Amino acid sequence: MEVIIRDTRDQAVSLAAAIIARALVKKPNLVLGLATGRTMESVYELLVAMYEDDGLDFSLARTFNLDEYVGLPPEDPNAYRFYMNKHLFHRVNIDLRNTHLPNGMAEDIEAECRHYEEEILDCNGIDLQVLGIGRTGHIGFNEPLSAMHSRTRAKALTPETVEQNAPLFTGGTPMPRRAITMGVGTILECRRCVLLATGREKAEVIAKAVEGPVTAMISATALQLHPNCTVIVDQEAGSLLQNTDYYRWIFENEPDWQQYH
Ligand code: GLP
């Protein structure tokens, strides 16, 4: 795992967007894993600007989102499909047929989850998975005690997650209590992971995720086992980390990061 601490939120968001853009330029038919939430909105904003201003090409990209609420149709403004269309897919030249989210309306949820895993395999796996982190330490919706080897499945959301995400719900739709999410095992199989966290409210969970012991109680700690994972934080989200001098030194000195300075 590498930890990159940027001074400001904007710098952290820009770095995440730049990593995605470079991966897409290098491999136009990139299989890109996507995340939702407030943090990601700014990343998508930058990717849309790169498409509009610099012609960043999404035409061959394939995408898989981490999760979707159970029981919300795609046209519900609170559904993650709606979020993705609104913030990214409808604003760039991606072929919607190449964009995948779990179907939260599926009658047979288990079959849908198996199907989602098969679709990922059919694309030869995910090249780059972008992740946010919830206050419970979830990646996707892998709430505490999600097995390290878990696959795509429906998970019950914790009261803390409901409290965190319910304010985002509009139009009187009650927030579902379950979601379909890629498993921790599914995420660990992605060839590269980039987790982005900003703001003081993420500081505790980032310190645990990066420097704490690996535990199923905090799914993000599983990323310590991933061979190619970058955690990007702003100063505030990184404020409770211990080894910050070392992390900063890596970013300044590691040749791979020179192109992002
Ligand atoms: C939701 C998503 C997570 C995401 C989290 C972060 O819970 N299921 O994948 O990491 O939001 O949200 P925010 O960026 O709003 O803090």
What is the spatial distance between Cα 44 and Cα 13, in angstroms, rounded to a whole number? 9
The structural domain count of the chain equals 1
CA dist 120 → 32, 54, 66 (Å): 10, 29, 11
Share of the chain above pLDDT 70, in %: 100
Inside any domain, residue 243? no
Question: Hey, which residues does 131 pair with through a beta bridge?
Answer: 195
- How far apart are the CA of 181 and the centre of ligand 1, in A? 12
Pocket test for ligand 1, best of 9, 13, 39 (most atoms within 8 A of CB): 39
Inside any domain, residue 245? no
Domain membership of residue 141 as a residue range: 7-188
Confidence of residue 14 (pLDDT cuts 50, 70, 90): very high
Average pLDDT, the chain: 97
- How far apart are the CA of 255 and the centre of ligand 1, in A? 31
Pocket test for ligand 1, best of 138, 152, 162, 236 (most atoms within 8 A of CB): 138
Alpha helix positions (H), 55-158: 80-87, 109-122
Q: Which residue has the tokens 């959301």?
A: 157
Pocket around ligand 1 at a 6 A CB cut-off: 35-39, 66-67, 132-134, 140-141, 165
Q: Is there a contact between 145 and 152 (Cβ–Cβ < 8 Å)? A: no
Q: What's the average model confidence in pLDDT over 6-26?
A: 98
Query: Residue 189: how many CB atoms within 10 A of its CB?
Result: 17
CATH code of the domain in which 151 resides: 3.40.50.1360
pLDDT tens sequence across 85-143: 999 999 999 999 999 999 999 999 999 999 999 999 999 999 999 999 999 999 999 99
What is the reported pTM?
0.97
pLDDT, position 41: 98
- How far apart are the CA of 139 and the centre of ligand 1, in A? 8
